[in-house]
Amino acid sequence: MARTTTYTQFIALRPERLWAVLADPARWPEWNPGVTAVTLRGAPGTGVRGDYLPRGRTSAMVHGRLAEPFTITRFVPDRELIIEQPEPAGVMRISWTLTPRHGGTELVQRIGVTGISAPAFWQIIGRRLQTDARVCFARLARLAGIEPDENARRVIIAGGSGALGRNIAADLICRGQRVTILTRQRDPALPFDQVYWDGRSVGDWVAALRNPGATAVINLAGKLVDCRPTAANVAELRCSRVDSTAALVAASRTLDRPIDYWIQASTTAIWSDAGEKRCTETTPLPVGLPQMTGVAEPWERAFEGANTDHWTILRTSIVLDPDSPALRRLCDLTRAGLGGRVGPGNQWFSWIHVEDWLALVRAALGLDPEVRLPNGILVAATDFPVRNRDLMATLRRHLRRPSAPPTPTTALKIGAVFLRTDPALGLTGRHATSEVLPHTGFRFRYPTLNEALTDLLPH
């Protein structure tokens, strides 16, 4: 058996700058918190052996007692480093490949586990090493001395400590942009400038919006929707979005000049359960539904009056990312033999690969010269939504699981109580696509679900 994941990131540094850090495995813990310590038994080079200790009590205990030393099996300066770590009845192989690109380097990280112990050691060690890979790359870029480009934007991200916020913040750091996160609780482990705000009122944090150069705002703030649909939770979902947006809008109106670029988060769930309706940017909204229309509609309305030149209300569908709770839960259920259709199975599932979502955000910030986005609402979803039954079948195929019985609607509702989530997340859906993107020059890198899962899932 084998499991391999691949992560790719552009970094605005020449390969030799990155190699100066990457080529010394002893510095691995400095940029990947999944590693506690590394000791080499000689100068870095092919054939040199060493020991590393993964983070986590169980992982460290198992690895420390059972693992043999790793070996550097390939060491090509400025190009490639491969480490092979023997595991009981298997081998873990980690490689980093650097390829020169215009303006920087494409860094590819592959982590693979082979042998009959692969599933167990992937869960114990492999998954930990690849978690938050993009943030790890941002730490690596900073250690290698990356500096903002002279034309860099100052990008202020509200809600930047969440999964999507960390992804776009890390991606922008790697591309030589300046990033500041507005957060209710600073996290010293994140390699970003962080400024405290309460998410409700205008305060000292407004100073982060006052910059001599180009300034952009990305507003992702809001409570996660993965909660029980109680009146109190729906009210909190709405307030966490509306209040934070209103605070940003009020702050923008105190500035001497407009924000250059503003990306206001929203969701395709604004159409609630749309049935067979084909939703695009111009599709009217339903009336009177508390979740999610009753959350997303006032969220978008709170953006009115923002002091900005270029703006995008980004109605994002489900973002497929290895670290996202949605994809992890679906994969865990499928591996557990519960990969059949959910409820009727004909509900639409609109989605977008995280790489395509990041590319859309960069385009909305004016960082892609080949894409021109007009001001207005933009649906962030691939052109090929799938029905729930097709989603689950594709997951089973990629995870090599046999056919599974369906999950009845009643069973899902009961299970949602124990998981403290909303059954509507699995039972409702919408066919959402963009009628704007085809005219902007944007092209999806992963347009189909099969292509996306081939890239995202261990294979």
Above 90 in pLDDT, residue 171?
Answer: yes
> What is the per-residue pLDDT for 127?
76
Q: Write down the pLDDT at residue 424.
A: 80
**pTM, entire model:** 0.93
The predicted model gives 408-421 an average pLDDT of 80
C-alpha 50 chain-centroid distance: 32
Give which of 275, 190, 200 is closest to 242, Cα–Cα: 200
The pLDDT of residue 327 is above 50: yes
Evaluate whether 84 touches 70 at the Cβ level (below 8 Å): yes
Q: Give the pLDDT of residue 3.
A: 66
CA nearest neighbour of 134 among 173, 102, 98: 173
pLDDT at 133: 93
Give pLDDT, residue 415. Answer: 79
- Is residue 2's pLDDT more than 60? no
CA-to-CA distance for 126 and 112, rounded, in angstroms?
A: 8
Query: What share of the chain has pLDDT > 90, as a percent?
Result: 69
> Going by DSSP bridges, is the β-strand pair 259-267/308-316 parallel, antiparallel, or unpaired?
parallel
Cis peptide upstream of residue 292 (ω within 30 degrees of 0) = yes
Residue 248: pLDDT over 90: yes
Task: Decide if pLDDT at 1 tops 50.
Answer: no
Rounded Cα distance between 288 and 274, Å, is 14
Predicted confidence (pLDDT) per residue in 217-226, tens digit:
999 999 888 7
Instruction: State the average pLDDT over residues 80-91.
Output: 88
- CB-CB contact of 37 with 52 (8 Å): yes
Give the range with max mean pLDDT: 98-112, 113-127, 328-342: 98-112
C-alpha separations of 64 from 38, 40, 55, 346 in Å: 12, 15, 11, 49
Whether residue 248 contacts residue 158, with contact meaning beta carbons closer than 8 Å, is answered with: yes
With the C-alpha atoms ordered 198, 203, 208, 210, is the resulting torsion angle positive or negative?
Answer: positive
Lowest mean pLDDT among 4-8, 48-52, 199-203, 357-361: 4-8
* 130 phi, psi to nearest 5 deg: -100, 0
Q: Is the pLDDT of residue 332 over 90?
A: no
Max mean pLDDT among 49-58, 323-332, 342-351 falls in: 342-351
The whole-number average pLDDT for the span 220-247 is 90
Domains of the chain (ranges; CATH) run 2-143 (3.30.530.20), 155-456 (3.40.50.720)
pLDDT tens sequence across 177-224: 999 999 999 999 899 999 999 999 999 999 999 999 999 999 999 988
CA–CA dist 103, 13 (Å, integer): 7
Enumerate helices (H) and strands (E) in the chain, giving the number of each.
15, 20
**What would the two tokens of residue 399 be?**
């995870």
* pLDDT above 90 (res 120): no
d(CA 379, CA 388): 20
**Tokens encoding 396:** 């089973």
What does the pLDDT average to over 371-384? 97
Helix 163-174 crosses helix 354-364 at what angle (to 10 degrees)? 60
Closest of 337, 346, 351, 353 to residue 388, by C-alpha: 346
Over residues 441-452, mean pLDDT:
96
Q: Is 305 left (phi over 0), alpha (psi -120 to 50) or beta?
A: left
Over range 64-78, report the average pLDDT: 89
Taking alpha carbons only, the member of 312, 317, 308, 316 closest to residue 363 is: 312
pLDDT-derived band of residue 427, with 50, 70 and 90 as boundaries?
confident
pLDDT digits (tens, 9 = 90+) for 252-292: 999 999 999 999 999 999 999 999 999 999 999 998 777 78
Tell me if residue 192 falls in helix, strand or coil.
coil
Question: For all residues of the chain together, what is the average pLDDT?
Answer: 91
The rounded distance, in Å, linking the Cα atoms of 228 and 238 is 14
Do residues 121 and 181 touch, judged by C-beta distance below 8 A? Answer: no
- The strand ranges marked E within 41-192 are 49-54, 70-76, 80-87, 90-101, 104-115, 154-158, 178-183
Q: Write a three-state SS string for 113-132.
A: EEECCHHHHHHHHHHHHHCC
